[in-house]
């Protein structure tokens, strides 16, 4: 194994579920993300993703016959993927703590767990209907497909939470409560709370609430309930 940062933290969550907000908040607290996106049309503060990690994850998914919106049944890493991942870690080896955020990471997580046995996690989820409406707005994705994806991604999130009991947030919380819980996460990750009153969270950029727009499939409803019970 090549050189790597002393600590690596993965921010885990489904697309359109508040991962960007959580990641930006942790970046304010000192989490280094490397070269990350700070703006895009559907997220004016940026999705905070390092494109090199996204490209690697897309390559792994494609090699397994899938994509971010078509999760493969299994997701094996080829040697070339391991080499790219090791190169990414080595390029950030000077950092005391590196963070990376990409929803696709949930689909390719087994490879990261092999390379980084001490990989740390923080997770976030959002009401399935809010995610479905946001995906429809961004990608014209049908509600049934969006809910199926929500379930696939969040099954992995909940499975990993049950294994490691890492900090888990719900993006459906009101701003003040959400920010307070982010501070709890910052403390648990041994980062530094920002001193300035203006925080990364901006309620005006959250366009969809948790209100149901239709009956949810029972397995989706049950998983959301279990995630809420598990969250901070």
Residues 118-144 have pLDDT tens digits of 999 999 999 999 999 999 998 999 999
Q: Is 39 a domain residue?
A: yes
The stretch 78-94 carries a mean pLDDT of 96
Listed in sequence order, the residues at least 6 apart from 225 whose beta carbon sits closer than 8 Å to its beta carbon are none
Q: How many CB atoms lie within 10 A of CB 173?
A: 17
Residue 155's pLDDT band, with cuts at 50, 70 and 90, is very high
CA distance 46 to 77: 28
Q: Is 72 a domain residue?
A: yes
Q: pLDDT per residue over 9-32, tens digit each?
A: 999 999 999 999 999 999 999 999
For tokens 């009401």, name the residue.
Answer: 127
183 pLDDT more than 70: yes
The one-character DSSP state at 205 is G
Q: Which residue has the higher pLDDT, 205 or 50?
A: 50
- Structural element, H or E, at residue 10: strand 7-12
146 pLDDT more than 50: yes
Q: Is 174 a domain residue?
A: yes
Q: Is 1 a domain residue?
A: no
Q: Is 198 a domain residue?
A: yes
Task: For residue 17, give its domain range.
Answer: 7-230
- Structural element, H or E, at residue 219: helix 218-230
Q: Is 163 a domain residue?
A: yes
pLDDT at residue 92 in the model: 95
Q: Which residue has the higher pLDDT, 42 or 110?
A: 110
Residue 39's pLDDT band, with cuts at 50, 70 and 90, is very low
CA distance 141 to 139: 5
End-to-end CA distance of the chain: 35
DSSP string, 98-138: EEEE-GGGGTSHHHHHHH-TT-EEEEEE--HHHHHHHHHHH
Q: Which CATH number characterizes residue 158's domain? A: 3.40.50.300
pLDDT at residue 162 in the model: 98
Q: Is 63 a domain residue?
A: yes
pLDDT at residue 41 in the model: 45
Q: Is 2 a domain residue?
A: no
**Cβ–Cβ under 8 Å, residues 107 and 66:** yes
Residue 197's pLDDT band, with cuts at 50, 70 and 90, is low
174 by Cβ neighbours in 10 Å (0-12 / 13-18 / 19+) ranks as exposed
How many structural domains is the chain composed of? 1
């Amino acid at each position: 194994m090549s050189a790597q940062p002393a600590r690596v933290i993965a921010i885990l969550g489904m697309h359109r579920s508040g991962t960007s907000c959580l990641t930006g908040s942790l970046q304010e607290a000192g989490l280094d993300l490397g070269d990350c996106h700070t703006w895009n049309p559907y997220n004016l503060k940026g999705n905070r993703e390092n494109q090199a990690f996204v490209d690697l994850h897309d390559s792994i998914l494609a090699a397994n016959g899938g994509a971010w919106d078509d999760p493969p049944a299994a997701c094996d890493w080829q040697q070339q993927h391991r080499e790219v991942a090791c190169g990414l870690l080595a390029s950030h080896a000077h950092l005391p703590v590196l963070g990376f955020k990409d929803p696709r990471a949930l689909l390719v997580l087994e490879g990261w767990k092999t390379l980084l046995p001490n990989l740390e996690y923080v997770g976030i989820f959002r009401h399935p209907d809010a995610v479905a409406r946001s995906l429809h707005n961004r990608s014209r994705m049908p509600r049934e497909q969006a809910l199926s994806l929500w379930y696939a991604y969040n099954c992995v999130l909940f499975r990993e939470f049950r294994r490691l009991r890492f900090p888990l947030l719900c993006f459906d919380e009101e701003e003040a409560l959400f920010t307070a819980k982010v501070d709890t996460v910052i403390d648990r990750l041994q980062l530094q709370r920002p001193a300035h009153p203006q925080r990364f969270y901006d309620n005006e950029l959250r366009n969809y609430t948790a209100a149901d727009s239709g009956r949810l499939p029972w397995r989706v409803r049950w998983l959301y309930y279990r995630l809420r019970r598990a969250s901070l």
